[in-house]
Chain A
């Protein structure tokens, strides 16, 4: 069950993409020597096959400062894309949703990436993601699911009774969309 969250997530805008970014590969700035690990990426125009893909690559664990330069990937190879400038703090919708529902600890994961991406699809209309709605629905699901809540209870070392957790998630779900 895949679980993706990074509290230090940033993105780099890129152009001239000629290889697919792979989750976990290391990017190195050809001039700056800055490094970071890839989380995921988007393509907003062009194509990898055409060598003109443009979009964002989301990274974690950055060391150094990227600049307008070629990007070398440990999987994608040298000059796999061109960075448009320095990275900036930027979260994916999945990262934002995990943060909103408090599902950020991979040792006590509540939902898989697939499940939350499924919710993101359900609550995206006209390219606009309704994160409050999705978070509310995720917490409603939690409020009737002792299997998942047991994970949260374990994380809190039994500080809350299960029924109290179920009520807590329900009231939080309601408050998000009231």
Chain B
């Protein structure tokens, strides 16, 4: 399992990491392989790169909202207090909105 992020956002995986806030390897939410697999699965070969990225972001945000382990990674890096149930609904709402982007 690997984690790479290049801040020039030239690759779709980097764009996805940027939009879901998963850019710090120490607090990895998704591995490269998980993101790449989702990009491959949702790529219909017709839609624009941006559209594909939005679909993947929507799906991964939804996955974060359903996974306590991944939500832990979301806030572990900053040492601030969060209400987990609030984070669940927040990520779920964001995911639904991205799906309609």
Residue numbers of A with Cβ under 8 A of B are 1, 112, 114-115, 117-119, 121-122, 137, 140-150, 153, 162-163, 166-167, 170, 174
Contacts and interface: CB of A to CB of B under 8 A. Distances in A.
Interface of B: 7-10, 14-15, 18-21, 23-24, 27, 50, 61, 74-75, 77-78, 80-83, 86-87, 90-91, 94, 97-98
A38 B89 CA distance: 47
Given A137-B19, A141-B19, A170-B94, A146 B9 contact: no
Given A146-B75, A147-B27, A118 B20 contact: no
Interface of B is mostly: helix
A147 to B, nearest CB: 5
A147 B90 contact: no
Contact of A144 (B10, B61, B77, B82): B61
Contacts of B75: 146
B24 A146 contact: no
20 contacts: A115-B7, A117-B8, A118-B9, A118-B14, A118-B15, A122-B15, A137-B19, A140-B94, A141-B21, A144-B19, A144-B61, A144-B90, A144-B94, A145-B21, A146-B78, A146-B80, A146-B82, A147-B78, A163-B87, A170-B94
